[in-house]
Amino acid sequence: MKYDFGMIGLGTMGRNLLLNMADHGVNGAGFDKDASKGVQLEQEAKQGNVKGFSEVKPFIESLNTPRAVMMLVPAGKIVDEVIEELIPFLDKGDILIDGGNSHFTDTNRRVDYLESKGFHFFGMGVSGGEEGARKGPSMMPGGDKEAYNVMKPILESIAAKVEGAPCVTYIGPGASGHFVKMVHNGIEYALMQLIAETYEILRNGLSLSDTEIHGVFEKWNAGRLSSFLIEITRDIFTYKEPGADHLLVNDIKDEARAKGTGKWTSQEAMNLETPIPSIDSAVSMRDLSKYKAMRTKASEIYGSAHSLRGYKHGNWMGKEDGLKFLEEAYFFSMIITYAQGMHMLSRASVEYKYDLHLDEIAKIWRGGCIIRSTFLENIYSAYSKDKNLEHLLLDADVANLVKRASAGMRNLVAAATSVGIAIPAYAASLSYFDNFRTENMPSNLTQAQRDYFGAHTYALIGKEGVFHTQWMPK
List 96's β-bridge partners, or say none. 69, 121
The answer to whether the beta carbons of residues 354 and 348 sit under 8 Å apart is yes
3-class state of residue 357 by DSSP: coil
454 class by beta-carbon count within 10 Å (0-12 exposed, 13-18 middle, 19+ buried): exposed
Q: Which of 37, 51, 181, 363 is catalytic?
A: 181
Which of 37, 188, 268, 363 does the annotation list as catalytic? 188
For the chain, the straight-line distance linking the first and the last C-alpha, in angstroms and rounded, comes to 86
d(CA 433, CA 364) in angstroms, rounded, equals 26
Which amino acid belongs to residue 260?
Answer: G
Contact 100, 85 (CB under 8 A): no
56-70 burial code (b ≥16 CB/10 A, e <16): beebbebbeeebbbb
Q: Is 263 a catalytic residue?
A: no
Can 77 be counted among the known catalytic residues? Answer: no
Close Cβ partners of 311 (under 8 Å, ≥ 6 residues apart): 322, 415, 418, 419
DSSP state of 305: P
> Which amino acid is present at 126?
V
CA distance 313 to 303: 22
Whether the Cβ atoms of residue 182 and residue 265 lie closer than 8 Å to each other = yes
* Cβ atoms 53, 78 nearer than 8 A: no
Sequence-distant (6+) residues with CB within 8 A of 353 are 173
Separation CA 426–CA 336 (nearest Å): 10
Q: Which residues are catalytic?
A: 181, 188
